[in-house]
Amino acid sequence: MRQIETAAITRAVKEAAIAANYDLGKDLLAALQRGEQEEESPSGREIFRQLLENASIADTERVPLCQDCGLAVIFVELGQEVQIVGGDFEQAIQEGVRQGYGEGYLRKSLCHPLTRANTGDNTPAVIHTEIVPGDRLKITVVPKGGGSENMSRVFMLKPAEGRAGVIEKVVTAVKEAGPNPCPPIIVGVGIGGTFERAALLAKKALLREVGSPNPDPELAALEQEMLQQVNDLGIGPQGLGGRITAMAVHVLMQPSHIASLPVAVNIQCHASRHKEAVL
């Protein structure tokens, strides 16, 4: 068994939370640059230009990319040959979020759902842990903004609705969201599993590098078709009208019950932030 100290986990989460909020990924930067070149609408091109400038200011002036520093969603892949020592694993992650959002001057955006009282330190994070082969611990911090999360949907389709029904729901979700989730967006789609698994797949799909093809040719074709139809909506950057409503559609799929066809659409704003740490 390889031992990993909880203190190292806290440190990794803290650093990833800060880095994710200040430094836009290279894939996203490339996608924004492509957008600035390819967008036909003048106001759309101006939005891409502003977003590139925003990323540059965030980097040089150390201002978060967006004031909504997100609810910290944490994906953990825990190698089965790893033993966590020195304390409680989940508490170590929460402590990392607490320190990252505090020391990183990030906005604390969590509250009691009913009284709306702020929890004060952006905890609790939402943690998804998977046990995998090996002796490594991979932690991905995904600060998820509220505006785009609010526009996300889960649909329980009839199996007869099939592939066309799935595409239609994805397009519907994006259309109804319109300008609200800060387009140009990334669309995460989860197909299959159960009600909650479809939603988790949709969120996980957002982690794939923007611009990289889906390794499954069937899903790659589906993504292309969805992207085309989403962009035909004409919503464009910030909803002002344009060709690029979404920079990418990412799909993850797994078998579902013979009675079901769950489809989840997790909408991600252009500030698609995630940072990975491997211990």
Partner 1 sequence: MSKTVKLTPPLTDKDVEVLEIGDRVLVSGVIYTARDAAHKRLVDLLAAGKELPVDFKGQILYYVGPSPARPGRVIGAAGPTTSYRMDSYTPTMLQLGLKAMIGKGKRSPEVIAAMQQYKAVYLGATGGAGALISQCIKKAQVVAFPELGPEAVHRLEVENLPAIVINDCKGRDLYELGVKEYRRTADTNIEPTVCR
Beta strand pairing call for 185-193 and 246-256: parallel
| Site track for partner 1 across 32-71, x = CB under 8 A | --------xx-x---x--xx-xxx-xx--xxxxxxxxx--
State how far the Cα of 45 lies from the Cα of 233, in Å rounded to an integer. Answer: 17
Window 173-202: residues binding partner 1 (CB under 8 A): 178-182
Beta strand pairing call for 71-79 and 126-132: parallel
State how far the Cα of 235 lies from the Cα of 251, in Å rounded to an integer. Answer: 21
| Site track for partner 1 across 98-137, x = CB under 8 A | -------xxxxx------x-x-x-----------------
State how far the Cα of 190 lies from the Cα of 157, in Å rounded to an integer. Answer: 13
Q: What share of the chain is helix, strand, coil (3-state, %, to 5)?
A: 40, 25, 35
Among 5, 209, 243, 279, which residue interacts with partner 1 (rule: CB under 8 A)?
243
State how far the Cα of 27 lies from the Cα of 61, in Å rounded to an integer. Answer: 21
Q: If binding is defined by CB under 8 A, does position 172 make contact with partner 1?
A: no
Stretch that binds partner 1, among 10-18, 80-88, 144-152, 211-219 (CB under 8 A): 144-152
> What's the min distance (Å) between Cβ of 174 and partner 1?
12
Kindly list the residues in this chain that would bind partner 1 in the complex (CB under 8 A): 40-41, 43, 47, 50-51, 53-55, 57-58, 61-69, 105-109, 116, 118, 120, 145-147, 150, 178-182, 229, 232-236, 238-243, 269-271
